Structures are given as C-alpha cells and as structure tokens.
Amino acid sequence: MPRSRSGVRMMLISVHIPRRMLEELDELARSGLFPSRSEAIRVAVRDLLTKEREKRVRREARTVVSERA
C-alpha cells in the first residue's frame, strides 16, 4: 500500500467524474499547480472535509447556545 511523503498510508478508491472535470484536473497538473490529478483531488477532498467539519462545529455551538438560553 503506498504512503504519502509524511508516511500516511494511502487508500485507492475509484470515482466516476465527467470528462470535462477530468480534463480540468489534468490541466491543473500540466500547469504545475498540482503534481498530479490525485493530489488535486486529495486537496479538494481535504478542503471539503475541513469546510463541512467547521460547519458542523458552528451548528453544534449554536445548539449549545440556544439550549442555554
């Protein structure tokens, strides 16, 4: 099983995406913004997870505040 530079074990998944999205991912890699389409996808997933985690924390904080009122 491959590992990242930081030693984290990487898991292989398969996804279906529209051809246009794949072409755009390839362009990001060709332009040098990302070293590969896989890295671009990892960054996108990480950002999505971070955003959703922050939204969940804010919702939970609002719930606690409203329960105290």
What residues have CB less than 8 Å from 49, skipping those under 6 apart? none
Q: Establish if 36 belongs to a structural domain.
A: yes
Domain holding 43, by residue range, is 19-68
Positions in the chain whose pLDDT score sits under 70 = 64-65, 67, 69
Query: Do 35 and 25 touch, CB atoms closer than 8 A?
Result: no
Report pLDDT for 59. Answer: 87
Can you give the pLDDT at residue 57? 92
pLDDT of residue 69: 61
Q: Does residue 28 lie in a domain region?
A: yes
Q: Which residues of 19-37 are buried (b: 16+ CB within 10 A; e: fewer)?
A: eeeeeebeebeeeeebeeb
Number of domains in the chain: 1
What is the pTM for the complete model shown? 0.78
